[in-house]
Copies of this chain bind each other. A is one copy, B any other.
Amino acid sequence: MTLSIAHLGPPGTYAEQAALLYLNWLATSTGVEAILCPYPSIAQSLRAVAKGEVQVAVVPVENSIEGSVTMTLDTLWQLDSLQIQLALVMPIAHTLISCAQRLEDIKTVYSHPQALAQCQVWLERFLPTVQLIPTNSTTEALLQLEQDLTVAAISSQRAAQLYNLPVIASGINDYPENCTRFWVINQGHIPVSRPTTLERASHTSLAFSVPANIPGALVKPLQVLARLGINLSKIESRPTKRSLGEYLFFIDIEADASEPQVQSALAEISPFTEILKIFGSYKVLPINTHNRVVSG
């Protein structure tokens, strides 16, 4: 059986790069073969899994500079049947791609808003007068380059190679430690093999809504986790979309949901929440700086 993996396309995006890492790791560690299926948005790649068009989606969750990818969190909350199987953290290095002869000739820079934001300081220093134009993906920005020598795009080194386009500047992200966390997501009832050497999951992700207008409503669930010694690695609020000031909270804890104290914590938290969803327990696939999965 060949596994199909949805990701934000077209080919050349960072999401495709993460999907490829997962595909290669799968082939090496389990012998399962897979193909990549690009989708025009993150929401559509997750919906493709929910509808059974593909078995797996690889989606960005969080960038170290720009924060949560809210489209991923909101869609995961809406689609009931999905579960996180694995996480991977990938270093991000942006390159400026253009057919221009010199930096001074560039008048317009296209890229995904997150990539533009991650290169703000570099752009203000070296291209202070250019117009910045957002695109739906870093790869889509490359479509603007054809035959226009005053246009540049911010994308990955890999995308430049893939489309045979000249790199003008490399590593232009403002923070060198730039990296993005991705989740590998499938339908909950289909088990996907985990890294074999590490049976117990290191992280569990969940989300809950709390009753509106109750002082300290969020504190109670957090107190339960703190008292039971369960470390929180992430907390993010998202609007319920009903009315301003009503939130959902997305929480990552550093434990497996099958551990007894996590089970107790969830049972204790539940009465303080309106809706509580567990998105799964998973391991983080170790990736080295050369963008390869460390053997394991």
Contacts and interface: CB of A to CB of B under 8 A. Distances in A.
Nearest to A220: B226
Contacts of A225: 216, 219
A66 B244 contact: no
A209 interface: no
Contacts of A65: 239, 241
A202 interface: no
A242 to B, nearest CB: 7
A136 B136 contact: no
B237 A236 contact: yes
Contacts of A229: 215
Contacts of A247: 234-235
Stoichiometry (number of copies):
2
Contacts of A179: 244
Contacts of A136: 132-134
A71 B134 CA distance: 15
Given A64-B239, A66-B239, 6 more contacts: A113-B134, A134-B135, A177-B242, A177-B244, A234-B245, A236-B236
Interface of A: 43, 62-68, 70-71, 89, 113, 117, 120, 132-136, 175, 177, 179, 181, 215-216, 218-219, 222-223, 225-226, 229-239, 241-245, 247
11 contacts: A64-B239, A67-B238, A68-B237, A133-B136, A175-B242, A177-B244, A181-B244, A216-B222, A219-B225, A234-B245, A234-B247
Closest 10 CB pairs of A and B: A216-B226, A64-B244, A134-B134, A215-B231, A219-B226, A219-B222, A67-B239, A65-B241, A177-B243, A175-B241
